[in-house]
Amino acid sequence: MSAQRLVRILTTRSGPDIEIALALENGQTLRVVATPDQADRLVDELEDILNAPEEPDETPPAA
């Protein structure tokens, strides 16, 4: 499966777990169930990425 552009994220409780639905640009919806610990680690990873300096574009300039 190739990478798809994310359109929307929906979350809800599903018993003791958290259901995450990812609506994709191609119309598909991917649903996953995560434990609270997994959701917490996902948030931590996203915060790390968002707070990290952007890497420079490694594409050489056009001649």
pLDDT band at 55 (very low <50, low <70, confident <90, very high): confident
Residue 2: Cβ-neighbour burial (10 angstroms; 0-12, 13-18, 19+): exposed
- Alpha carbons 50 and 14: distance in angstroms, whole number: 28
pTM above 0.85, yes or no: no
In this structure, of 21-30, 32-41, 50-59, the range with the lowest mean pLDDT score is 50-59
